[in-house]
Protein backbone atom coordinates (compact mmCIF):
# COMPACT_ATOMS: atom_id res chain seq x y z
CA UNK A 1 0.00 0.00 0.00
CA UNK A 2 1.24 3.41 -0.85
CA UNK A 3 -0.06 5.63 1.90
CA UNK A 4 1.46 8.45 3.83
CA UNK A 5 -0.33 8.88 7.11
CA UNK A 6 2.32 9.30 9.79
CA UNK A 7 -0.05 8.87 12.69
CA UNK A 8 -1.44 5.63 11.33
CA UNK A 9 2.08 4.31 10.81
CA UNK A 10 3.05 5.41 14.29
CA UNK A 11 -0.04 3.88 15.84
CA UNK A 12 0.18 0.54 14.04
CA UNK A 13 3.87 0.24 14.89
CA UNK A 14 3.17 1.11 18.49
CA UNK A 15 0.58 -1.65 18.70
CA UNK A 16 2.91 -4.16 17.07
CA UNK A 17 5.83 -3.26 19.31
CA UNK A 18 3.62 -3.47 22.36
CA UNK A 19 2.46 -6.92 21.27
CA UNK A 20 6.02 -8.11 20.75
CA UNK A 21 7.03 -6.78 24.15
CA UNK A 22 4.17 -8.55 25.86
CA UNK A 23 5.33 -11.86 24.43
CA UNK A 24 9.05 -11.21 24.62
CA UNK A 25 9.37 -9.61 28.03
CA UNK A 26 8.44 -12.70 30.10
CA UNK A 27 10.86 -14.71 27.96
CA UNK A 28 13.55 -12.14 28.64
CA UNK A 29 12.89 -12.20 32.38
CA UNK A 30 13.05 -16.01 32.31
CA UNK A 31 16.40 -15.88 30.58
CA UNK A 32 17.81 -13.23 32.95
CA UNK A 33 16.63 -15.18 35.98
CA UNK A 34 18.42 -18.23 34.68
CA UNK A 35 21.73 -16.33 34.76
CA UNK A 36 21.50 -15.06 38.33
CA UNK A 37 22.25 -16.49 41.72
CA UNK A 38 19.31 -17.43 43.92
CA UNK A 39 19.88 -14.38 46.14
CA UNK A 40 19.81 -12.06 43.13
CA UNK A 41 16.55 -13.62 41.90
CA UNK A 42 14.97 -13.14 45.30
CA UNK A 43 15.76 -9.38 45.40
CA UNK A 44 12.80 -7.12 44.80
CA UNK A 45 12.85 -5.80 42.20
CA UNK A 46 14.87 -8.41 40.35
CA UNK A 47 17.66 -7.00 38.23
CA UNK A 48 17.01 -6.95 34.49
CA UNK A 49 20.61 -7.32 33.30
CA UNK A 50 22.25 -10.71 32.84
CA UNK A 51 24.18 -12.11 35.79
CA UNK A 52 27.33 -14.24 35.74
CA UNK A 53 25.78 -17.56 36.74
CA UNK A 54 24.78 -18.71 33.26
CA UNK A 55 27.26 -21.57 32.98
CA UNK A 56 26.88 -22.74 36.58
CA UNK A 57 23.07 -22.72 36.51
CA UNK A 58 22.80 -24.58 33.23
CA UNK A 59 25.49 -27.08 34.19
CA UNK A 60 23.66 -27.66 37.44
CA UNK A 61 20.24 -28.36 35.86
CA UNK A 62 21.65 -30.38 33.00
CA UNK A 63 23.58 -32.68 35.31
CA UNK A 64 21.82 -32.63 38.66
CA UNK A 65 18.46 -30.90 38.58
CA UNK A 66 17.59 -28.72 41.55
CA UNK A 67 18.99 -29.22 45.01
CA UNK A 68 15.75 -28.70 46.93
CA UNK A 69 13.13 -30.15 44.52
CA UNK A 70 13.43 -32.88 41.92
CA UNK A 71 16.96 -34.12 41.34
CA UNK A 72 16.28 -35.33 37.82
CA UNK A 73 18.90 -34.00 35.42
CA UNK A 74 17.54 -31.83 32.64
CA UNK A 75 19.66 -33.72 30.13
CA UNK A 76 17.81 -36.98 30.75
CA UNK A 77 14.50 -35.15 30.91
CA UNK A 78 15.23 -33.57 27.54
CA UNK A 79 15.90 -37.03 26.13
CA UNK A 80 12.61 -38.28 27.57
CA UNK A 81 10.77 -35.32 26.11
CA UNK A 82 12.45 -35.86 22.79
CA UNK A 83 11.47 -39.53 22.71
CA UNK A 84 7.91 -38.60 23.51
CA UNK A 85 7.79 -35.69 21.08
CA UNK A 86 9.19 -37.86 18.28
CA UNK A 87 7.23 -41.05 18.97
CA UNK A 88 3.89 -39.27 19.07
CA UNK A 89 4.08 -37.50 15.68
CA UNK A 90 5.76 -40.44 13.95
CA UNK A 91 3.21 -42.85 15.39
CA UNK A 92 0.34 -40.57 14.53
CA UNK A 93 1.53 -40.08 10.97
CA UNK A 94 2.14 -43.80 10.43
CA UNK A 95 -1.23 -44.88 11.76
CA UNK A 96 -3.26 -42.06 10.25
CA UNK A 97 -1.85 -42.31 6.76
CA UNK A 98 -2.63 -46.03 6.61
CA UNK A 99 -6.10 -45.51 8.06
CA UNK A 100 -6.96 -42.80 5.54
CA UNK A 101 -5.49 -44.87 2.71
CA UNK A 102 -7.93 -47.63 3.63
CA UNK A 103 -10.84 -45.25 3.95
CA UNK A 104 -10.25 -43.40 0.69
CA UNK A 105 -9.05 -46.16 -1.65
CA UNK A 106 -10.85 -49.33 -0.57
CA UNK A 107 -14.50 -50.25 -0.61
CA UNK A 108 -15.32 -52.38 2.41
CA UNK A 109 -18.47 -52.88 4.46
CA UNK A 110 -19.15 -50.16 7.02
CA UNK A 111 -16.42 -47.97 5.56
CA UNK A 112 -18.16 -44.71 6.37
CA UNK A 113 -19.17 -46.04 9.77
CA UNK A 114 -15.52 -46.59 10.65
CA UNK A 115 -14.60 -43.20 9.31
CA UNK A 116 -17.16 -41.54 11.52
CA UNK A 117 -16.05 -43.64 14.49
CA UNK A 118 -12.55 -42.28 14.02
CA UNK A 119 -13.92 -38.81 13.57
CA UNK A 120 -16.03 -39.01 16.73
CA UNK A 121 -12.92 -39.65 18.84
CA UNK A 122 -12.10 -35.98 18.26
CA UNK A 123 -14.64 -35.42 21.01
CA UNK A 124 -12.60 -37.56 23.40
CA UNK A 125 -9.30 -35.84 24.12
CA UNK A 126 -6.93 -37.36 26.67
CA UNK A 127 -8.30 -35.27 29.52
CA UNK A 128 -11.80 -36.70 29.11
CA UNK A 129 -10.75 -40.34 29.08
CA UNK A 130 -7.81 -39.95 31.41
CA UNK A 131 -8.99 -42.14 34.30
CA UNK A 132 -9.90 -45.23 32.25
CA UNK A 133 -6.78 -44.75 30.13
CA UNK A 134 -4.65 -44.54 33.27
CA UNK A 135 -6.27 -47.73 34.56
CA UNK A 136 -5.54 -49.54 31.31
CA UNK A 137 -1.92 -48.40 31.22
CA UNK A 138 -1.42 -49.21 34.89
CA UNK A 139 -2.89 -52.70 34.48
CA UNK A 140 -0.68 -53.31 31.48
CA UNK A 141 2.33 -52.41 33.60
CA UNK A 142 3.25 -49.50 31.41
CA UNK A 143 3.65 -46.83 34.07
CA UNK A 144 7.06 -45.17 33.93
CA UNK A 145 7.75 -46.50 30.43
CA UNK A 146 8.10 -44.78 27.07
CA UNK A 147 5.30 -46.97 25.74
CA UNK A 148 2.98 -45.76 28.47
CA UNK A 149 3.97 -42.16 27.76
CA UNK A 150 3.30 -42.28 24.04
CA UNK A 151 0.90 -45.04 22.96
CA UNK A 152 -2.28 -43.57 24.44
CA UNK A 153 -1.58 -40.29 22.63
CA UNK A 154 -0.82 -41.74 19.23
CA UNK A 155 -4.30 -42.41 17.82
CA UNK A 156 -5.32 -39.29 15.94
CA UNK A 157 -8.53 -38.36 14.25
CA UNK A 158 -7.17 -35.01 13.18
CA UNK A 159 -4.29 -36.50 11.25
CA UNK A 160 -6.52 -39.18 9.72
CA UNK A 161 -8.90 -36.50 8.59
CA UNK A 162 -6.12 -34.34 7.17
CA UNK A 163 -4.69 -37.23 5.13
CA UNK A 164 -8.15 -38.24 3.96
CA UNK A 165 -8.79 -34.74 2.67
CA UNK A 166 -5.45 -34.77 0.91
CA UNK A 167 -5.97 -38.19 -0.67
CA UNK A 168 -9.36 -37.13 -1.94
CA UNK A 169 -7.71 -34.35 -3.93
CA UNK A 170 -5.34 -36.79 -5.66
CA UNK A 171 -6.92 -37.45 -9.07
CA UNK A 172 -8.44 -40.93 -9.50
CA UNK A 173 -6.59 -41.26 -12.79
CA UNK A 174 -3.32 -41.42 -10.88
CA UNK A 175 -4.47 -44.54 -9.08
CA UNK A 176 -5.75 -45.95 -12.36
CA UNK A 177 -2.53 -45.15 -14.17
CA UNK A 178 -0.64 -46.96 -11.42
CA UNK A 179 -2.98 -49.92 -11.79
CA UNK A 180 -2.39 -50.05 -15.52
CA UNK A 181 1.34 -49.78 -14.81
CA UNK A 182 0.95 -52.89 -12.68
CA UNK A 183 1.36 -51.34 -9.24
CA UNK A 184 -0.67 -53.07 -6.56
CA UNK A 185 -2.35 -51.06 -3.80
CA UNK A 186 0.63 -51.06 -1.43
CA UNK A 187 3.04 -50.28 -4.23
CA UNK A 188 0.86 -47.33 -5.23
CA UNK A 189 0.84 -46.26 -1.59
CA UNK A 190 4.63 -46.33 -1.27
CA UNK A 191 5.61 -45.06 -4.70
CA UNK A 192 2.95 -42.46 -5.34
CA UNK A 193 0.90 -41.48 -2.30
CA UNK A 194 3.74 -41.32 0.23
CA UNK A 195 5.96 -39.03 -1.84
CA UNK A 196 2.98 -36.82 -2.63
CA UNK A 197 2.10 -36.60 1.07
CA UNK A 198 5.55 -35.39 2.12
CA UNK A 199 4.52 -31.82 2.80
CA UNK A 200 1.36 -32.86 4.62
CA UNK A 201 3.46 -35.15 6.79
CA UNK A 202 5.88 -32.32 7.54
CA UNK A 203 3.09 -30.02 8.63
CA UNK A 204 1.62 -32.69 10.85
CA UNK A 205 5.02 -33.47 12.28
CA UNK A 206 5.54 -29.89 13.40
CA UNK A 207 2.13 -29.60 15.02
CA UNK A 208 2.33 -32.97 16.73
CA UNK A 209 5.93 -32.53 17.85
CA UNK A 210 4.90 -29.48 19.80
CA UNK A 211 1.80 -31.29 21.04
CA UNK A 212 3.95 -34.17 22.27
CA UNK A 213 6.62 -31.93 23.76
CA UNK A 214 4.12 -29.85 25.68
CA UNK A 215 2.18 -32.80 27.12
CA UNK A 216 1.67 -32.11 30.80
CA UNK A 217 -1.24 -33.89 32.42
CA UNK A 218 -0.57 -37.35 31.03
CA UNK A 219 3.15 -37.59 31.87
CA UNK A 220 2.42 -36.03 35.24
CA UNK A 221 0.10 -38.94 36.01
CA UNK A 222 2.09 -41.87 34.76
CA UNK A 223 5.69 -40.91 35.58
CA UNK A 224 6.65 -41.26 39.20
CA UNK A 225 10.21 -42.30 38.59
CA UNK A 226 12.61 -39.34 38.25
CA UNK A 227 14.41 -41.00 35.37
CA UNK A 228 11.21 -40.95 33.31
CA UNK A 229 10.31 -37.29 33.85
CA UNK A 230 9.80 -35.20 30.77
CA UNK A 231 11.12 -31.65 30.83
CA UNK A 232 7.71 -30.09 31.38
CA UNK A 233 7.05 -32.39 34.32
CA UNK A 234 10.56 -31.79 35.61
CA UNK A 235 9.84 -28.09 35.90
CA UNK A 236 6.75 -28.85 37.91
CA UNK A 237 8.62 -31.26 40.20
CA UNK A 238 11.30 -28.66 40.91
CA UNK A 239 8.70 -26.45 42.50
CA UNK A 240 8.37 -27.86 45.94
CA UNK A 241 6.75 -25.41 48.30
CA UNK A 242 6.45 -21.76 49.14
CA UNK A 243 7.88 -19.11 46.86
CA UNK A 244 11.07 -18.65 48.84
CA UNK A 245 11.86 -22.35 49.00
CA UNK A 246 12.29 -22.73 45.23
CA UNK A 247 15.47 -22.26 43.26
CA UNK A 248 13.91 -20.02 40.65
CA UNK A 249 17.18 -19.50 38.82
CA UNK A 250 17.45 -23.24 38.14
CA UNK A 251 13.76 -23.58 37.31
CA UNK A 252 14.04 -20.74 34.80
CA UNK A 253 17.08 -22.36 33.22
CA UNK A 254 15.09 -25.58 32.77
CA UNK A 255 12.21 -23.59 31.31
CA UNK A 256 14.54 -22.04 28.74
CA UNK A 257 15.83 -25.49 27.85
CA UNK A 258 12.25 -26.74 27.50
CA UNK A 259 11.41 -23.94 25.11
CA UNK A 260 14.31 -24.40 22.72
CA UNK A 261 13.49 -27.66 20.87
CA UNK A 262 9.94 -26.75 19.78
CA UNK A 263 11.18 -23.33 18.68
CA UNK A 264 13.96 -25.00 16.69
CA UNK A 265 11.57 -27.44 15.04
CA UNK A 266 9.23 -24.65 14.02
CA UNK A 267 12.06 -22.51 12.69
CA UNK A 268 13.77 -25.29 10.76
CA UNK A 269 10.59 -26.77 9.32
CA UNK A 270 8.71 -23.55 8.72
CA UNK A 271 9.02 -23.74 4.95
CA UNK A 272 7.71 -27.28 4.82
CA UNK A 273 5.07 -26.55 7.37
CA UNK A 274 3.55 -23.74 5.38
CA UNK A 275 3.79 -25.76 2.16
CA UNK A 276 1.98 -28.66 3.75
CA UNK A 277 -0.94 -26.56 4.79
CA UNK A 278 -1.15 -24.42 1.68
CA UNK A 279 0.37 -25.95 -1.39
CA UNK A 280 -0.73 -29.09 -3.15
CA UNK A 281 1.70 -30.72 -5.51
CA UNK A 282 -0.39 -32.62 -8.00
Partner 1 sequence: MAAVSLRDVRKSYTPELQVIHGVNMEIADGEFIVILGPSGCGKSTLLRMVAGLETITAGEIAIGGRVVNNLEPKDRDIAMVFQNYALYPHMSVYDNMAYGLRIRGLSKSEIDTRVQKAAAILELAKFLDRRPRALSGGQRQRVAMGRAIVREPQVFLFDEPLSNLDAKLRVQMRAELQGLHRRLGTTSLFVTHDQVEAMTLAQRMIVMNAGRAEQIGAPLEIYARPASTFVASFIGSPPMNLIPSQRDGRDVLLGVRPEHLEPCAQGEAAMTVDIDLIEPLGSDTLVYGHIGAERTGARVAVRLHQSVDARTGHLPVRYAPAHVHYFDPASGKRIEA
Buried b or exposed e, range 61-92, using 16+ CB within 10 angstroms: bbeebbeebbebbbebbbebbbbbbbbbbbbb
Query: HSE of 162 in the Cβ direction (CA atoms, 13 Å)?
Result: 26
Residue 52 or 176: the one with the smaller Cβ distance to partner 1 is 176
- Least distance to partner 1, CB of residue 175, Å: 9
CB of 162 to partner 1, least distance (A): 19
Tell me how far, at minimum, the Cβ of 186 lies from partner 1, in Å.
12
The minimum distance between CB 111 and partner 1, in angstroms, equals 18
Query: Toward partner 1, which CB reaches closer, 25 or 190?
Result: 190
153 touches 133 (CB < 8 A): no
- Identity of the residue, 52 or 279, whose beta carbon is nearer to partner 1 in the bound complex: 279
Check if the beta carbon of residue 133 is closer than 8 Å to that of residue 126: yes
Q: Is 7 exposed, middle or buried (0-12, 13-18, 19+ CB in 10 A)?
A: exposed
Chain center to CA of 45: 34
Minimum Å distance from CB 182 to partner 1?
3
Q: Which of 45, 195 has the CB closer to partner 1?
A: 195
Nearer to partner 1, 39 or 173 (CB): 173
Of 63, 78, 60, nearest in space to 249 by CA:
60
d(CA 73, CA 80): 11
Summarize as ranges the residues that interact with partner 1 (CB under 8 A). Answer: 171, 173-174, 176-183, 187, 191-192, 195-196, 281-282
Amino acid sequence: MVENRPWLTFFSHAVLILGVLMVAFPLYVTFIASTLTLEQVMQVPMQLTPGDQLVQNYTQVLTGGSTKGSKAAASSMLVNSLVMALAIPLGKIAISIIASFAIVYFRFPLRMFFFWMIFVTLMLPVEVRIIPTFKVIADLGMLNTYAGLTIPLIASATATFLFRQFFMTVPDELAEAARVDGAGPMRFFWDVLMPLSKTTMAALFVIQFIYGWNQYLWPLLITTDESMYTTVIGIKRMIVGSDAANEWNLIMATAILAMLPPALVVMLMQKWFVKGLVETEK
